């Protein structure tokens, strides 16, 4: 597996990381724990060194899983986790939206709890999961700066933050990484965010780089999801939207056939070709998908290939919002 450095931070990780959320949260019932521990350890054997989790995934169970799986391999890997939600508040009591909490004292409490669950003495990368409009970002950055000075955190990250927020945070404590949704079916970061990251030397970690599974070509307009799968809440995953959005998957399939690859590998290869400091974190619970995703790091997309993809993609209008309004409002602040 090739390595990449996330911006100017010096944080070196595998070119493709592993998003662990779906192992215990979000995509139906949690998977069998020992099976997922085995998958995570196999990922390390395959050269993956970058693992993404968060306290809210479960909550807590995903951090516990990642911590147990990686404890024997701790010196070989980079673990990213996140703060910023109030896990004591049931989102069903707040119109279905999670409750934000990035108050300094809460950030410190989350850090201590995450360290225990992750079975480690330092968090490699600590993201603010979503910007909290009730807490100045300078206070958030300052708190993480203190945690870095105390040796409890190595690098500071933001997730789904807006351009001005990133600049303000970066002035207090350098932001090493921005995590944001970015893929061939969500390209808004190209408008303002990616040029700013380039300017400031901040790495980009795209989550949902395969469009929450849609860009793999394995989801059709008649696919059914478990009631606990959060894709049932997403406008982009209605049967009508899936039918309309199949055009984008067909495009990936055409390029993939030419390259002796899969649609997923082309989607990930396209991301890797955008900037040398982009590291996608596709999630999976299956070994053959892990190997397929990792194989994207060896896909060579020429400038002509990239032109063909961009030209064809520009003619495709993706149908459906990526999030319900209440969740979309938490992004880009």
Cβ atoms of 220 and 226 closer than 8 Å = no
pTM of the model: 0.96
Give me the residues paired with residue 38 across strands: none
Q: At 318, is the pLDDT very low, low, confident or very high (cuts 50, 70, 90)?
A: very high
pLDDT digits (tens, 9 = 90+) for 114-152: 999 999 999 999 999 999 999 999 999 999 999 999 999
Answer whether residue 96 shows pLDDT above 80: no
Tell me the average pLDDT across 82-102. Answer: 82
> Does residue 239 sit in helix, strand or coil?
helix
pLDDT digits (tens, 9 = 90+) for 254-285: 999 999 999 999 999 999 999 999 999 999 99
Answer whether residue 17 shows pLDDT above 60: yes
Q: Which residues, in sequence order, are CB contacts of 196 under 8 Å at separation 6+?
A: 163, 166, 167, 202
Tell me how long the chain is.
333
- Mean of the per-residue pLDDT values of the chain: 95
Catalytic, out of 57, 127, 155, 182: 57
For residues 140 and 233, give the distance between their C-alpha atoms in angstroms, rounded to a whole number.
Answer: 30
What domains can be seen in the chain, in order of their start residue? 3-328 (3.20.20.100)
> Does residue 222 sit in helix, strand or coil?
coil
Answer whether residue 97 shows pLDDT above 80: no
pLDDT digits (tens, 9 = 90+) for 154-165: 999 999 999 999
Answer whether residue 93 shows pLDDT above 60: no
Tell me the backbone φ, ψ of residue 207, rounded to 5 degrees.
-95, 165
Whether residue 57 lies in the annotated active site: yes
Cα angle 178-109-158, degrees, rounded to a multiple of 5: 5
pLDDT for res 92: 58
Q: Which residues, in sequence order, are CB contacts of 86 under 8 Å at separation 6+?
A: 98, 99, 100, 101, 106
């Amino acid at each position: 597996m090739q390595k990449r450095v996330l911006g100017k931070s010096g944080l070196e990780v595998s070119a493709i990381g592993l998003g662990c959320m779906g192992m215990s949260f979000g995509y139906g019932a949690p998977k069998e724990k020992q099976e997922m521990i085995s998958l995570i350890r196999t990922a390390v054997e395959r050269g993956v060194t970058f693992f993404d989790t968060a306290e809210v995934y479960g909550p807590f169970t995903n951090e516990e899983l990642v911590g147990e799986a990686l404890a024997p391999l701790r010196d070989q890997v980079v673990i990213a986790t996140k703060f910023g939600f109030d896990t004591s508040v049931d989102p069903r009591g707040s119109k279905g939206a999670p409750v934000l909490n990035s108050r300094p004292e809460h950030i410190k409490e989350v850090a201590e709890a995450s360290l225990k669950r992750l079975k480690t003495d330092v968090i490699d990368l600590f993201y603010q999961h979503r910007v909290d409009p009730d807490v100045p970002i300078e206070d958030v950055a300052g708190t993480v700066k203190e945690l870095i000075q105390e040796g409890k955190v190595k690098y500071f990250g933001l997730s789904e933050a807006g351009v001005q927020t990133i600049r303000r945070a970066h002035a207090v404590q350098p932001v090493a990484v921005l995590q944001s949704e970015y893929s061939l079916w969500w390209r808004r970061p190209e408008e303002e965010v990616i040029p700013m990251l380039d300017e400031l030397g901040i790495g980009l970690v795209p989550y949902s780089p395969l469009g929450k599974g849609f860009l793999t070509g394995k989801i059709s307009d008649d696919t059914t999801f478990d009631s606990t799968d959060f894709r049932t809440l997403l406008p982009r995953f209605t049967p009508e939207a899936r039918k309309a959005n199949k055009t984008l998957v067909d495009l990936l399939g055409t390029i993939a056939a030419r390259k002796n690859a899969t649609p997923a590998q082309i989607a990930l290869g396209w991301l890797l070709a955008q900037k040398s400091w982009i590291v996608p974190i596709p999630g999976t619970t299956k070994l053959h998908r892990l190997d397929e995703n990792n194989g994207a790091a060896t896909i060579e997309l020429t400038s002509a290939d990239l032109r063909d993809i961009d030209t064809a993609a520009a003619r495709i209008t993706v149908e459906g919002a990526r999030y319900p309004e209440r969740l979309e409002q938490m992004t880009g602040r």
